[in-house]
Amino acid sequence: MFKLLEKKKIGPDIWQMKVSAPRVAKYAKPGQFVIVITDKRGERIPLTICDYNKDEGWVMIVLQVVGLSTSRMAELNEGDSFADFVGPLGQPSWFVNAEPSDIRGHNFIFIAGGVGAAPVYPQLKWLADNGKKADLILGARSAEQLILLPELKEVTNEVYIATNDGSAGEKGFVTDTLKKVLLERPEYYNECIAIGPMIMMKSVAEMTRTFALKTTVSLNTLMIDGTGMCGACRVTVGGKIKFTCVDGPEFDAHLVDFDEAMRRQGMYKREETESHRCNIDKAVEESHKRK
């Protein structure tokens, strides 16, 4: 069993959880993920690693409630335990195994949309710990949905904020801010790393292509099984079939077939929404019975 050490609400239906998982923490690297199962009848939920401490043996995850399984996961309290917490899985970010000289001469700009801030954070932290702070564009629908901002500011050179409603930073999309930054600093950046909603990553890829800027995206939201067995996370990259969970989750954004990926992502949206609604109705009914 994997004990929930800390639980904190950091946004609307968004929870940050510190889990005791010494083995996972020992081998974890930026870009990787874990499979979390709430109880013996629970669904396998792939979640990217937000932070980890090898010495203290914990791993941090960020959970957004979007359906039945994540709703049940969010109901756990400090002191409770997950039935399974498997990992680390997937390929780490490329720069983790790069030569130090290659990192020092590489200027990164990261883009995090919504809960994409969670997997972006360990990458920025790793780079900062290795002497290379990057810039970040942090986007969300509104100010209240901006997460991990204090932590992100500690490990970056500069943070640009964009919100759809203008309640924080610049009003607009992250691509609006990205275009402005790239025009102000032409040829400065060597790579853009974008993690967030699929449509956001597609838009970023289309823009950076016009600037001939290498771009990496994480397709973690496609994963289900996490081991390559179910085939649900198949994606076409450069005309070849890849499995997000074993070949990724990070890929060259300019080679990803985003239209195919978005169709696959929406395959079970209706069923998941109905399950979540039934769970809410059941909770309300049980509450009325207790009264």
Do 130 and 249 reside in the same domain of the chain? yes
Do 78 and 149 reside in the same domain of the chain? no
Final residue belonging to a domain, choices 61, 89, 117: 89
DSSP string, 79-139: T-EESEEEEEESPPPGGGGS-HHHHHT--EEEEEEGGGHHHHHHHHHHHHHTT--EEEEEE
The predicted pLDDT at position 271 comes to 47
The predicted pLDDT at position 273 comes to 47
pLDDT digits (tens, 9 = 90+) for 20-34: 999 999 999 999 999
- Is the pLDDT assigned to residue 119 strictly greater than 90? yes
Do 248 and 105 reside in the same domain of the chain? yes
Do 15 and 150 reside in the same domain of the chain? no
In a domain, residue 53? The reply is yes
- Is the pLDDT assigned to residue 289 strictly greater than 70? no
In a domain, residue 164? The reply is yes
Do 138 and 18 reside in the same domain of the chain? no
Q: Give the CATH number of the domain where residue 38 resides.
A: 2.40.30.10
Do 127 and 255 reside in the same domain of the chain? yes
- Is the pLDDT assigned to residue 145 strictly greater than 70? yes
> How far apart are alpha carbons 15 and 10 in whole angstroms?
6
Per-residue pLDDT, averaged over 132-149, amounts to 94
pLDDT digits (tens, 9 = 90+) for 200-244: 999 999 999 999 999 999 988 777 766 667 777 788 999 999 988
Read off the tokens for 25: 């923490």
Do 126 and 215 reside in the same domain of the chain? yes
Do 105 and 221 reside in the same domain of the chain? yes
Do 164 and 252 reside in the same domain of the chain? yes
Nearest to 249 by CA among 125, 107, 87, 137: 87
Do 134 and 44 reside in the same domain of the chain? no
Do 43 and 142 reside in the same domain of the chain? no
In a domain, residue 270? The reply is no
In a domain, residue 289? The reply is no
Confidence of residue 6 (pLDDT cuts 50, 70, 90): very high
> In the Cβ-directed half-sphere of 162, how many Cα atoms lie within 13 Å?
20
Final residue belonging to a domain, choices 27, 61, 89: 89
The predicted pLDDT at position 264 comes to 75
Rounded to 10 deg, the angle between the 198-210 and 174-184 helix axes is 20
For the entire predicted model, the pTM comes to: 0.85
In a domain, residue 63? The reply is yes
In a domain, residue 244? The reply is yes
- Cβ atoms of 127 and 134 within 8 Å: the answer is yes
> How many domains are there within the chain?
2
Q: Give the CATH number of the domain where residue 165 resides.
A: 3.40.50.80
Do 167 and 258 reside in the same domain of the chain? yes
Q: Which range marks the domain in which residue 144 is found? A: 94-265
In a domain, residue 100? The reply is yes
In a domain, residue 277? The reply is no
